[in-house]
Structure 1
C-alpha cells in the first residue's frame, strides 16, 4: 500500500475548542503520522501521512470536528510524502 501526504486547512471556529487534541486522537486511531497546529489567521493546519482511505476518514472527521467547533471550510492539498514523522502530534 502506498502512503500519501495531505495538507488540510480547516476554517471556522476551530481554535480554543480542542480541535488539535481531537485531531491527534483521530489521526492516531487511523495510524496516521504528522501534526496539527494553529495558524495566526485562525485556521488549523493538519499535515498527515498515511493510506489514502485513512486520510479520507480524517478529512471527513475534520468537516465536523469536536462538538464545540464550527467548521466553515476544509481545503485539502496532496504533497509529496516525506516520511519525516514517527507519530501524530500537536505542534505549536
Structure 2
C-alpha cells in the first residue's frame, strides 16, 4: 500500500538494482499489473488483506481481463527520464 504510486514503483526498482532483500528483488518483480485506488487508508488495508488471503487462481482471475492489453502501468506513473535510465 502506498499514497504515492510512482515513488513506490521507483523504490522497488532501485531496491532490485541495489540487490536489497525485498520481495520485488527476491522474485524479480518488474511490472505492475494491477492496482486499486482508495480514498480511505482503512479500506485499502482491508482490501489488501482480502486479496492476500486468496488462492493464486483467484488472483489470476482478478487480473485476467487486464492481460488482453497487458499494459504495464509503470509507464504511466514513472517519469520518462527514470524509465529511460533503467532501460539502459
Class of the TM-score when normalised by the shorter of the 2 chains: under 0.3
Larger Rg: 2
**Greater helix proportion:** 2
Which structure: greater strand fraction?
1
TM-score w.r.t. the length of structure 1 is: 0.26
Higher relative contact order (CA 8 A, sep 6+): 1
